[in-house]
Amino acid sequence: MLGQLTETLHILIENFYISTSLLGIVLCMAIESCCIPLPSEIVMPVAGIMLVQHKLPLVDGLNFGLAVFLIGLAGASGCLLGSMAAYAIGYKGGRPLMLKYGRYVLISQHDADKADAFFQRWGSATAFFSRLLPVVRTYISLPAGIAKMPFGKFCAYTFLGSLPWCIALAYVGTVLGDNLSTLSNALHGLDVVVIVVIVALVVLYIWRHIRNDNKARAEHRQQQSQGSLEQPPVPSTSPIPPSQPSRLDNDRTIRR
């Protein structure tokens, strides 16, 4: 049954790339850069594997270097599109709304806070070199939008930081694709073990993600409640009545 499940999943992914080619790569990388954790470490190497297997339309038959560059270009374009959407959400102040409903697609308060702290420390340059960092690369566009980083500068940094990363991952995929038969022979008979390990890692990732997210949300609620309790009372805006003269003051006036 596990073998059938693996084969079905492989066919689905392969058919998606066959039917969409470079557009599918753009779409997957846009999803990743719009704060939904679809790892580029999977998306780009799979495209590279399919390139050497001659299963990727539009680039099959092209010069190898050009084909890898085009795959990387598609990935970087997807990063830019997804990052622009996340930037717009942050710019318009939609972060709380996105985090409220985004938890159902694994958008994490914990990871968003981590990206916020990273951006506050390193500034606008983060949009460039964060593309090489896990987790931060997925969420960094939100604080960039909140900080209202110049949009043209943001787009340039995002694209230039994403392009070499995507090209490198695509090339790694081609190396894996060239040695796929060797790897298959080495792992022959261990299919069930490999599947169990992969499933365990996915479950562990989701569990840690949910745990860290719940912890971060609880800390935010606690900080908000403490902030509301520490606020000073609002002074009354009603006019203060004039003070009435005391009896002693009246006696002094009469004596004079």
CB 78 within 8 A of CB 28: yes
CA 164/CA 156 separation, integer angstroms = 13
CB of 181 within 8 A of CB of 75?
Answer: no
Question: In this predicted structure, what is the pLDDT of residue 127?
Answer: 79
> Residue 5 half-sphere exposure, CB side, CA atoms within 13 Å?
8
Largest CA distance in the chain: 117
**What is the crossing angle of helices 40-52 and 64-91, to 10°?**
160
Tokens of 175: 């190396």
Tens-place pLDDT, residues 31-87: 888 877 778 888 898 899 889 988 898 898 899 999 999 999 999 999 999 999 989
Compute how many other C-beta atoms are within 10 angstroms of the C-beta atom of residue 216.
18
CB atoms within 10 A of CB 98: 17
pTM: 0.67
Q: How far, in Å, CA of 34 to CA of 78, rounded?
A: 10
What tens-digit pLDDT sequence spans the chain (256 residues)? 444 544 555 567 678 888 898 999 999 999 888 877 778 888 898 899 889 988 898 898 899 999 999 999 999 999 999 999 989 988 887 667 666 666 655 666 776 777 777 777 777 777 788 777 776 777 788 888 888 889 999 999 999 999 999 999 999 999 988 776 665 555 455 455 545 655 665 666 667 767 766 776 677 667 667 665 555 555 544 444 555 555 545 555 545 5
| Alpha-carbon separation of residue 58 from 16, 18, 47, 68, 135 (angstroms) | 14, 10, 12, 12, 31
Give the up-direction half-sphere exposure of residue 184: CA atoms within 13 A in the CB hemisphere: 5
